[in-house]
Amino acid sequence: MYSIPTLEVTHKPNAIAVLTSGGDSPGMNPAIRGVVRAALNQDIRVVGIHKGYSGLITGDFEEMNSASVTNIVQRGGTLLKSDRCLAFKDPKVRKLGAEILADNQIDALVVIGGDGSLTGAHLLCRETGIPVIGLPGTIDNDIYGTEDTIGFDTAVNTALDAIDKIRDTALSHESLFLVEVMGRNSGFIATHVGIACGAEMIVVPEYEVKVDTICYQLAHNRQTGQGSSGIIVVAEGPIPGLTYSLAHQLEANGQAPKVCILGHIQRGGSPSGHDRVLASCLGASAVDYLCAGISDIMVGVQNGAICATPLAEVIAHKKALDPVLFQRALLLHK
């Protein structure tokens, strides 16, 4: 359980809207439920916005009550649906969104999503004055200002479940598998999965890896009798086809790897208990901060406590993969 700050109620909104934006992540539904139930318990009207910012600018709204979020904590995806709204990058469109909120007597907005979604939330608040709270909803865990993001734990466990099955075949046939996990610009999933599954190697965008180094390490492991899991975990990286390219290069160096791309199964599925608790606490805390008159922040977790980070800082920084953790991961594979 997290340490939750006690905030004084100074400016209770009459109505709060909530939306999910960008890529979906397991735990978005518990976060929605946290916002709705916490607001209703303070006699605040709640409106759900369908399809993210796209639904905001088209007025695709739903009045929400307690029954609206009954039995959703165990469901993956997002009850409110999601979208990537490129039009929201236009200040005129953001102004329209603020006007639509005002026309519907909505005083504040909670946005659940990744860095792009949080950027939109910050700009909306700065340009129009609409109070906004952001929640970190992304499986990549690459959001500055929080140690954990909604969906990360579930994505790691989903990948682990698949790799545990792949390993059975890898060991039975003494085969080498390149297992691709999500992470275009971030190696958090790959690093955590690699440690947890005992992979031989981990390939992440943050650190360059040379094929001849991989081949040497594989050969060295076998010659010295070191244990082999037969698994190399690869973050997808910014360029599509990285894992297949790596496989072809390994083949040219005498290896015979098989490729398994886990893809979007990491986004789906029932959220883990950890993600349900995290999302519920963050959702409810978003309402607390709004009622305390605090806006333009992201609510996250640091050192086991719910905390607030200005959205301007969140979008200005990139959370880096801990080099010590990555080096420890490599050490455990030798």
| Beta-sheet pairing, 305-310 with 297-302 | antiparallel
- The answer on pLDDT for 1 being more than 90 is no
Confidence at residue 212, expressed as pLDDT on a 0 to 100 scale: 73
Cα–Cα–Cα angle for 116, 117, 122, nearest 5°?
A: 95
In this prediction, residue 255 has a pLDDT band, given cuts at 50, 70 and 90, of confident
Question: Mean pLDDT across the chain, nearest whole number?
Answer: 93
Q: Does the pLDDT value for residue 192 go beyond 80?
A: yes
CA-nearest of 89, 92, 103, 104 to 128 is 92
Q: What average pLDDT does the segment 16-23 reach?
A: 97
User: What is the secondary structure of 212-254 as a DSSP string?
Assistant: HHHHHHHHHHHHTT-----EEEEE--SSTTHHHHHHHHHHHTT
How far is the C-alpha of 97 from the C-alpha of 236, rounded, in Å? 35
Among 145, 106, 229, 232, which residue's Cα sits nearest to residue 180?
232
Q: Evaluate if residue 216 carries a pLDDT over 80.
A: no
pLDDT band at residue 333 using 50, 70 and 90 as cut-offs: low
Lowest mean pLDDT among 51-55, 125-129, 149-153, 215-219: 215-219
Helix, strand, coil in percent for the chain, rounding step 5: 45, 20, 35
CATH number of 152-267: 3.40.50.460
Please state, for a pLDDT cut of 70, what percent of the chain lies above it: 96
Per-residue pLDDT for 224 more than 80?
Answer: no
Domain ranges of the chain: 15-151+271-316, 152-267
CATH number, span 15-151+271-316: 3.40.50.450
Per-residue pLDDT at 226: 64
Q: Do domains 15-151+271-316 and 152-267 have the same CATH topology?
A: yes
Percent of the chain whose pLDDT exceeds 90: 77
| Higher local confidence (pLDDT), 281 or 209 | 281
**How far apart, in whole angstroms, are the C-alpha atoms of residue 59 and residue 50?**
9
Residues assigned a catalytic role: 140
Q: Choose among 35, 182, 52: nearest CA to 116.
A: 52
